[in-house]
A and B are shown apart, each in its own frame.
Chain A
Amino acid sequence: MSVNTGDPSFLRLLQDRYAGFVTQAKAAEVEFDVELVPAGPSADPDADVRVTSNHGRWQLTRGDFRAEWEPSSNHGWIRQSANPYSIDAVLRIVHTLVLARQGGFLLHSAGAIRNEKAFLFAGVSGAGKTTISRLAPPDAILLTDEISYVRKQDGHYIAFGTPFTGELAKLGENVSAPISALYLLAQGPENRIDPISPGEAARGLLANVLFFAEDDELVRAAFHSAFDFVNQIPVSRLTFVPDARVWELIG
């Protein structure tokens, strides 16, 4: 993705926020022009987001931003105040739109690479994504403590690091690896991995897929991608105490 801004301080803010994920590449799949406006009194980042398609143009709105993106031209604009949270939300949403058409998705999960294999730990806020990321041993490469980027390449699911952080506030590494397992997180009195039914796996995955678009076709694409994922990737429940020994079960 390419983001254009004429504001040097906002540019520095983005470069700092997405350090490790910024390149000078000229060509981008998606290009945005950012128009900075003063924060209005109604600029509520907790307002509901709406993502709708109108004649081939995606329109993204929330209390604190408006954006449009036209896939046919790969170009769009974002109107927001000079803050990192609005553009972060826009980038997440656009990634979900792009990935849905490619058989991938953003997943509410922590992720790490160990022994060249990626492991994802999915759960809602409070499930333990940040905790398990914090407990990761030195040989584990952290992809994210909040949002995993999952893409299907050559028939295999690959997890990529993302700059989308949670409470750990630490960027993932800009690396990728084939996904070896998905764990649905639970906290309990001991560290253990339990099998779950395919239906439970699909429900658990779908509950954690980020999806915002009010669009039948994309909903179908994301829905069926989730089942395809569950058919390929082992999904289990990981209960942990939490302490660092949980990582003895991973990898």
Chain B
Amino acid sequence: MTRLYVARNPRVAARCFEGEMMIMSGRDSTLFTLNKTATILWQAADGATPLDEIVEHRICPEFEVEPSVALQDAETLARELASHEILQVSEQPISQKGPGDSR
């Protein structure tokens, strides 16, 4: 099985505000509000932890869901966030460069 790694895109601005994670694209200023699963994924996306470990340790404990199903959903979610340039997804660990921005 190929492992996936996810990292926060350092080009976005992010803020957890009153429990809601909001992210603004540095490219076109589009605003995104993440749901609970996406927020967990975003916060855990350090580029070094494989996605399956994030699912096992961070997502599954929060939701009553089969790990295999959760992993499939998380992959779909990660790729969707990557399509908006919020996350980076790779089959290799991702080194985090740039200032980043998350408060």
Residues of A within 8 A of B (CB): 197-199, 202-203, 206-207, 211, 214-216, 219-220, 222-224, 227, 230
Contact = CB atoms under 8 A, between A and B. Distances in A.
Interface residues of B, number: 18
B18 A220 contact: no
Interface string B47-71: 0000000000000000000000000
A214 B22 contact: no
Given A214-B27, A216-B26, A223 B13 contact: yes
B52 to A, nearest CB: 31
A227 B17 contact: yes
Contacts of B28: 214
A123 B33 CA distance: 20
Q: Is the interface of B mostly helix, strand, loop or mixed?
A: loop
B95 interface: no
A206 B19 CA distance: 17
A203 B101 contact: no
Interface string B7-49: 0000101010111101011111101010000000000000000
A222 B25 CA distance: 12
B103 interface: yes
A202 B26 contact: no
Contact of B22 (A197, A199, A216): A199
Contacts of B17: 198-199, 202, 227, 230
A242 to B, nearest CB: 28
A209 to B, nearest CB: 9
A219 B18 contact: no
A202 B13 contact: no
B94 to A, nearest CB: 18
Contacts of A197: 18
Contacts of B13: 216, 219-220, 223-224
Given A223-B15, A230-B17, 4 more contacts: A199-B33, A223-B13, A223-B24, A227-B17
B25 to A, nearest CB: 8
Contact of B15 (A207, A219, A222, A227): A227
A198 B18 CA distance: 7
CB-CB nearest 10 A-B residue pairs: A216-B26, A223-B13, A199-B20, A220-B13, A198-B18, A223-B24, A219-B26, A216-B11, A220-B101, A211-B29
Counting chain A CB atoms within 10 Å of each CB, the highest count among B11, B17, B20 belongs to B17
Contacts of B27: 214
Nearest to A199: B20
Contacts of B22: 199, 202-203, 206
